[in-house]
Amino acid sequence: MKTIKVSVVTPDGPVYDSDVEMVSTKAQSGELGVLPGHIPMVAPLQIGAVRLKKEGKMEFIAVSGGFLEVRPDQVTILAQSAETASHIDVERALRAKERAEQRMREQKAEHIDFRRAELALQRAINRLAVSEKRF
């Protein structure tokens, strides 16, 4: 089966590098699947999971925003932070989730901190979901 090279890079270093059969991501405009031979494309990503189909199995990476760059033979994901399922610090994510929820209770909805807390909550929930692989 044809494969496509995927690399996930973050400012703190490369996170993932491998050949896979399919990449599915959550772009700002909606779910986006990429197969080998896709035309060159750039799309911003939402906070969400990247699903990689490799040798018939699924692998998951949690990404917090960033970009997807597609070329016919290569997909690059530029994210501000990204973790593979096994690298997620579940306790930290749980703590972050609680903290974010707490802040959202204290702040008014139109305050900028509220929006920040909301994003933090999304990231935490995303990490937890990826670590448990439920979608």
Cα(1)–Cα(94) distance, integer angstroms: 39
39 scored as a contact of other proteins (CB under 8 A) = yes
Site size for other proteins (CB under 8 A): 24
DSSP state of 89: -
16: phi > 0 → left, psi -120 to 50 → alpha, else beta; which?
A: beta
- Indicate the residue among 8 and 20 with the shorter CB distance to other proteins: 8
Q: Of the listed pieces 3-11, 97-105, 107-115, 125-133, which binds other proteins according to CB under 8 A?
A: 3-11
Q: Which of residues 77-116 bind other proteins (CB under 8 A)?
A: 78, 80-81
Cα(51)–Cα(12) distance, integer angstroms: 21
Cα(16)–Cα(39) distance, integer angstroms: 22
- Indicate the residue among 80 and 102 with the shorter CB distance to other proteins: 80
29 scored as a contact of other proteins (CB under 8 A) = yes
61, β-bridge pairs: 50, 84
Nearest-approach distance from CB 112 to other proteins, in angstroms: 11
Contact 131, 90 (CB under 8 A): yes
Q: Which of 2, 18, 33, 42 binds other proteins (CB under 8 A)?
A: 42
Residues that bind other proteins (CB under 8 A): 9-14, 27-29, 32, 39-44, 66-67, 69, 71, 76, 78, 80-81
